[in-house]
Amino acid sequence: MSDARDEFDLALKPTWCPGCGDFGILSAVKDALTTLAISPHEALVVSGIGCGSKLPDYMHANGFMTLHGRPLAVATGAKLANHALHVIVVDGDGDAYGIGGNHFIHTVRRNPDITHIVEDNQIYALTKGQYSPTTPQGKVTTTSPEGAIERPVNPVALALAMGATFVARGFAGEPHHLSGLIQLAIRHPGYALVDVLQPCVVFNRAQSYDWYRQRIYKLEETGHDARDPAAAGTVAREWEERIPIGVIYAEEGVPAYEAQLPALQPGPLTARAGPSATRFEQLIARFR
């Protein structure tokens, strides 16, 4: 990882549990922004509520912690207000696929130029281990003492079904590889999902780092064609014994939502709204 990431560092120490996958995700986000030469003021990190949603607190960049399940809606508004910003959403699987599930579906189909990083630890960790939309069926949790009876959501398959133009899966235990995926997602002109397999060392010890390392394989090493919808659908359904990470699907030529709005063509609204530079200086002078 590059030392240039110091530009995004804060003195505030994360309160995550030692060994939490959020550390790897935070490192990968910083590295991706640094590698792409994106400055802190050029990025906005929007989050919801949960362990991983505290990530904006630990970065020197624009940050906005929203209501539970609402970061995609807020991020869409921010992107429309200033589409020159690199807008990144970081939230957990419960926030993204459960409470925010409706926002997830409709953000995918609208295709705004937003990078969506989901810290998928298959559990509600901040609130002490309730099962989430991605919890494996049969898993014993604080709210399923006899085992979860619901079948889990397959977020990458759902994103494909809703017409997502970029779908990837990463692993928090490989932050360098994850950084590369985030870079591709940020470069992609449209909605980009990066579902991150993230161990929770307290409330989901079954899906540990070792458990994932025994199963994951990198799609780029197999000759997978991410432009092929059929191939993407096949690998998106793989789980348990073999779990693919990498770019599952990437579609070119689909315009982003904000690129289709005539009102935004002259430039970001934030650059055109409000007082002129001269008027602004006059206003400041009045209060000196």
**What integer pLDDT is reported at residue 215 of this predicted model?**
98
Within-domain flag for 274: no
Q: What is the dihedral of CA 143, 147, 151, 156, to 10 degrees?
A: 70
Stretch 258-262: mean pLDDT, rounded? Answer: 95
| Closest by Cα among 80, 22, 70 to 46 | 70
Residue 58: which CATH number? 3.40.50.970
Residues 6+ apart with CB under 8 A from 97: 104, 118, 132, 133, 134, 153, 155, 158
The residue range of the domain holding 213 is: 3-262
* Beta strands 243-250; 166-171: pairing state: antiparallel
Does any domain span residue 276?
no
Q: pLDDT tens, 80-98? A: 999 999 999 999 999 999 9
Tokens standing for residue 228: 């092929």
* Sign of the CA dihedral running 265, 267, 269, 274: negative
Establish if 171 belongs to a structural domain. Answer: yes
Closest to 188 in 3D by CA, of 108, 251, 107, 258? 251
Cβ atoms of 22 and 173 within 8 Å: the answer is no
Is residue 279 a part of any domain in this protein?
no
Over residues 180-235, the pLDDT tens digits come to: 999 999 999 999 999 999 999 999 999 999 999 999 999 999 999 999 999 999 99
- For 88-128, how does the pLDDT look when each residue is reduced to its tens digit (9 = 90+)? 999 999 999 999 999 999 999 999 999 999 999 999 999 88
Is 31 part of a structural domain of the chain? yes
- 269: in domain: no
Angstrom distance (rounded) from CA 93 to CA 155: 9
How confident is residue 288, by pLDDT bands cut at 50, 70 and 90? confident
Report which DSSP code applies to 55: G
Half-sphere exposure of 60 (CA within 13 A, CB side): 13
Is residue 193 within 8 A of residue 170, CB to CB? The reply is no
Calpha distance 136→138 (Å, rounded): 6
Flag whether 63 is in a domain.
yes
Residue type, position 239, single letter: W
Is 281 inside a domain boundary? no
> What does the pLDDT read at residue 2?
45
28 backbone dihedrals φ, ψ, rounded to 5°: -70, -40
Print burial letters for 201-224: b (CB count within 10 Å at least 16), e (below 16).
bbbbeebebeebeebbeebeeeeb
Cα–Cα distance, 153 to 131 (Å, whole number): 12
Residue 67 pLDDT exceeds 70: yes
Domains in the chain, number: 1
Please write the tens of the pLDDT for every residue from 240-254.
899 999 999 999 999
